[in-house]
Amino acid sequence: MIGSYVAVGDSFTEGVGDPGPDGAFVGWADRLAVLLADRRPEGDFRYANLAVRGKLLDQIVADQVSRAVELAPDLVSFCAGGNDILRPGTDPDEVAERFEEAVAQLTAAAGTVLVTTGFDTRRVPLLKHLRGKIATYNGHVRAVADRYGCLVLDLWSLRSVQDRRAWDADRLHLSPEGHTRVALRAGLSLGLKVPADPEQPWPPLPPRGTLEIRRDDVHWAREYLVPWIGRRLRGESSGDHVTAKGTLSPEDIRSWIAKVA
């Protein structure tokens, strides 16, 4: 019975793409916290989401891992290194060494550590050329999990997120439904009974013509790709002025979900 949970990571764990109230996001980790809280007496569950979008592994370790160690929760989810892997010239072997150092800190303080693999990006236009690099990093993540007794949230094998409806308009972050399916998969990774199958088939979509696809690609490039490249050239991060959500109550998360559902 998990009575406390701390989520550590970047935009994926912050919940970007899953809008909540007042410009905040909900996301899979918050949704998982509700699943966990539902198995405890009301008010007998503590949760904090420390994740901030755009953060690199070393920044996550400095700002979040130390805080998670202080809180010493029953469960920590740790997803980090993805933004490092996206950077040109980074070595997944070297990133994994620093990832392992952080896992060692977390497993010494938390009851259970849940680590995540990266997604299979074969259908993500901006990231499909990084598929081999991501797969290499995933292999390291699994090896580290074996060495330290961590649970693994396997996102590479989650077939339902290969559907474009699982992704936000920016094609980099999950949609609300995508986050929901990851939360369900995370619950299964923890041995929970979950209310739905994360691999439940999507309803069929009407076929799209070549002109429609091209129009969507042009819109995406103008609205998302060009600004993303611009931030990289300027050395800026989407999380430069973002504060972590911090401590959240499951009741508040439920109300957020209900408002935007």
Query: pLDDT digits over 122-140, tens only?
Result: 887 778 899 999 999 999 9
Alpha carbons 261 and 166: distance in angstroms, whole number: 15
190-207 average pLDDT score: 95
The pTM assigned to this predicted structure is 0.93
* Joined tokens for residue 52: 């901030």
Separation between Cα atoms, residue 155 and residue 188, nearest integer Å: 12
Which conformational region is residue 54 in: left (phi greater than 0), alpha (psi within -120 to 50 degrees), or beta?
left
For residue 186, give the nearest of 29, 78, 51, 75 by alpha carbon: 29
CA distance 48 to 30: 9
- SS3 call for 2: coil
CA distances from 65 to 32, 74, 76, 229, 245 (A): 19, 14, 10, 29, 15
pLDDT band of residue 261 (cuts 50, 70, 90) is low
27-31, 58-62, 156-160, 235-239: range with lowest mean pLDDT: 235-239
Vertex 176: Cα angle to 175 and 179 (nearest 5): 85
Other residues' Cβ atoms within 10 Å of the Cβ of residue 9: 25
Summarised one tens digit per residue, pLDDT across range 132-166 is 999 999 999 999 999 999 999 999 999 999 999 99
